[in-house]
Amino acid sequence: MNSRFTFLFLIVLALTVNSQQNDFCDTSRFGGTNGTQNRNGSCSSTVQGEIPDVDHMVSSLIIFPPNEGSFGPNETFTVSVHVIGLDTGFFDDPKTNYYLAPQTVNNNTGKIQGHSHITIQQLNPGQLLAPDPQIFAFFKALNNVSTNDILFQEVGPLPVGYYRICTMVSSSGHQPTLMPVAQRGGQDDCVRINIK
């Protein structure tokens, strides 16, 4: 009798946990994600999707400009990013399909299907506090297919100042790329530059 009760209890517990996971957004203080970029927050019930194996994890390196490079205030320059583990050129409409699609992996290459971004923020030299993510000097999605695993974006001119340039790699639905293990190198890169 005890074992039968234990068995029934475990079934009820499993059904309850499964129900709570499926209904998570029903109890969230946020409304459901609807494909728009909701500045007030939302709750996404989109499944995470496909996760690549460890031989196809994403890694990025900004190869130009160099860290601590300098440009004049009237100069334009091209940011070049070498990225591996990403099948580039996959980009859902961020106005209608933001965070709606799960991550997908290309069946032939094993790589995550997605894109990257360049974001530039002004810093104070020696700044030791994280900058406000809502304030940026430049932002651009890199939607194109890479050339020899390199993505390019023209930038500038920027006002005189000290800046941080970062990549933000995303799957096609704009969520950060999901990796198979926690202990790994970062998938994004940042450099600092001077405009003077």
Can you give 6-48 as a three-state secondary structure string? Answer: HHHHHHHHHHHHHHHHHCHHHCCCCCECCECCCCCCCECCCCC
Q: 67 with 192: CB under 8 angstroms?
A: yes
Nearest-CA neighbor of 122 among 137, 104, 103, 106?
137
174: left (phi > 0), else alpha (psi -120 to 50), else beta?
A: left
Q: Is 10's pLDDT higher than 80?
A: no
Q: How confident is the model at residue 24, as a pLDDT?
A: 85
The proportion of the chain whose per-residue pLDDT surpasses 70, expressed as a percent, equals: 89
Whole-prediction pTM? 0.85
47 φ, ψ (degrees, to nearest 5):
-70, 155
pLDDT tens-digit map of 19-35 = 444 578 989 999 999 99
Q: How confident is the model at residue 16, as a pLDDT?
A: 45
* Greatest C-alpha distance within the chain: 82
What domains appear along the chain, each with residue ranges and CATH number?
Answer: 48-195 (2.60.40.10)
Residue 190 CB neighbours (<10 A): 15
Residue 21's contacts (CB-CB under 8 Å, 6 or more residues apart) are: none
Confidence of residue 101 (pLDDT cuts 50, 70, 90): very high
Q: Is 15's pLDDT higher than 80?
A: no
Q: Is 172's pLDDT higher than 80?
A: yes
Confidence of residue 5 (pLDDT cuts 50, 70, 90): low
